[in-house]
Chain A
Amino acid sequence: AQKVTQAQTEISVVEKEDVTLDCVYETRDTTYYLFWYKQPPSGELVFLIRRNSFDEQNEISGRYSWNFQKSTSSFNFTITASQVVDSAVYFCALRPPETSGSRLTFGEGTQLTVNP
């Protein structure tokens, strides 16, 4: 069975602070994909990043960066110089290979509030 844990339920920071959202996952599969989605107050789920389990290279996209460590089953997400518009719920998700059903398993989400 797959499981995704986002231990931080809520995080509150002041604008321009850096913030890291933690994600730990469990799976018996050797091949899988990890995702981060953002849910702003408007409610829709917005795709942020996808990472293959074989690719442990960290990724940076503007103010966003992701640290994937297979040894600790973690896929953490850092926002540098946070802005008010970053306020949202962020979900980490795991997708196993199709032989295991290929459904997205989401974590509980982390509510990020960036205050001006």
Chain B
Amino acid sequence: DSGVTQTPKHLITATGQRVTLRCSPRSGDLSVYWYQQSLDQGLQFLIQYYNGEERAKGNILERFSAQQFPDLHSELNLSSLELGDSALYFCASSVGGSTNEKLFFGSGTQLSVL
């Protein structure tokens, strides 16, 4: 158990809808990362937050947004969903966000857009 909690584990929705994925980092970790894993794109970095502020942005679509709350949990919002958004979405956390830190990953949220 990595200590990173993601909910829900599975999500099935329809095109055009909006969903929210939730992540609770390990106790004491200030950085939260979101990754998307799909068959055609592999594991892609989406966005990183550190202590409530956005620190780095990757290949995140404009339809997607995220935030980190004062209690350090994070939410990834996906809107106007398309079939191609179907993927496994991982949240990870680390203590501070430095290069040498290892990331601890949650079990992921499997999103299926029908």
Nearest opposing residue in chain B for A99, CB measure: B99
Of B17-25, B64-72, B102-110, the one with at least 4 CB within 8 A of chain A: B102-110
**Which secondary structure dominates where chain B touches chain A?**
strand
Secondary structure class of chain A's binding surface, majority of residues: loop
- Contacts A43-B107, A47-B104 given; indicate if A106 touches B43 (C-beta within 8 A): yes
User: Chain B, 67-99, contact with A by CB distance < 8 Å: what is the 0/1 string?
Assistant: 000000000000000000000101010000111
Determine which of A35, A45, A103 lies in contact with B48 in the assembled complex, contact meaning CB atoms within 8 Å: A103
Q: How far is the CB of A85 from chain B (nearest CB, A)?
A: 17
- Nearest residue, chain A, Cβ from B104: A47
Contact of A102 among B2, B43, B98, B110 (CB under 8 A): B98
Once bound together, how far apart are the Cα atoms of A52 and B100, in whole Å?
8
In the complex, how many residues of chain A place their beta carbon closer than 8 angstroms to a beta carbon of chain B? 27
Q: B58 at the A/B interface (Cβ < 8 Å)? A: yes
In the assembled complex, 28 residue pairs joining A and B whose CB atoms fall closer than 8 Å, in A order, are: A43-B107, A43-B108, A43-B110, A44-B105, A44-B106, A44-B107, A45-B105, A47-B103, A47-B104, A47-B105, A50-B102, A52-B100, A91-B43, A95-B99, A97-B99, A98-B97, A102-B55, A102-B56, A102-B97, A102-B99, A103-B45, A103-B48, A104-B33, A106-B42, A106-B43, A107-B42, A108-B42, A109-B42
